[in-house]
Amino acid sequence: MRIITGTARGRRLKEPADQAVRPTTSMVKEALFSIIQFDIEGRRVLDLFAGTGQLGLETLSRGAKSCDFVDSTKASIELVKHNIKASELTGGRVFLSDARSFLQKRERYDLIFLDPPYDFPHLDRIIQDIVTFDILHKNGIMVCETKREAELPDVEAPYEKGKEYRYGKVKLTIYTRV
């Protein structure tokens, strides 16, 4: 697992020792960053189910202003901290918290990644919390990575559910705030 491009291009990131964390595959990560490549520089990012931190670190490498990494397990938090240090990137803050509790802080972001475990049963609630707390800035983007067959909810204005992209067994769903 490596950072694709930017100031930390080619830096190796530590992968999880077990199968409890499922890092985004290289193919999906490259496709994802092709979709949002012009919406990163200078932005505040939230990597809500951080795992290894690779998505947030990729944004920092590409010029994001900051990234908050949130995960509910100590093992993932330690992995994210290690990868931040190894990448030598700045602007990252790390939080040990469950997603719903963290969202109640109501900080605002320009780009949000939601990449929970595929068997996570409450992704629809997390999406609804983001809409209810209105934590995405105007013209902000939220990217959800799920199993291909997962059905994600429609949302109320000013949020919009956008295009879905399929890559093998994975689906990326884009939400925006207009």
pLDDT value at position 177?
Answer: 98
pLDDT value at position 20?
Answer: 64
- The architecture that CATH gives domain 26-177 is 3-Layer(aba) Sandwich (3.40)
What ranges do the domains of the chain cover? 26-177
pLDDT value at position 16?
Answer: 85
Q: Please list, in sequence order, all residues whose beta carbon lies within 8 angstroms of the beta carbon of residue 125, skipping any fewer than 6 positions away.
A: 100
For 174, phi then psi, to 5°, come to -105, 130
The pLDDT of residue 18 is above 80: no
pLDDT value at position 11?
Answer: 96
The pLDDT of residue 21 is above 80: no
Q: What is the pLDDT confidence band of residue 115, given thresholds at 50, 70 and 90? A: very high
Amino acid identity, position 138: K
pLDDT digits (tens, 9 = 90+) for 47-96: 999 999 999 999 999 999 999 999 999 999 999 999 999 999 999 999 99
Which residue, among 99, 95, 136, has the nearest Cα to 117 in the 3D structure? Answer: 99
Which residue, among 70, 118, 61, has the nearest Cα to 90 in the 3D structure? Answer: 61
pLDDT value at position 119?
Answer: 87
pLDDT value at position 118?
Answer: 87
Total Cβ atoms within 10 A of residue 32: 22
SS3 99: helix
pLDDT value at position 87?
Answer: 97
pLDDT value at position 19?
Answer: 63
Chain-wide mean pLDDT for the chain?
Answer: 95
The pTM of the full predicted model, rounded to 2 decimals, is 0.96
| Spatial distance between the Cα atoms of 57 and 132, rounded to a whole number of angstroms | 27
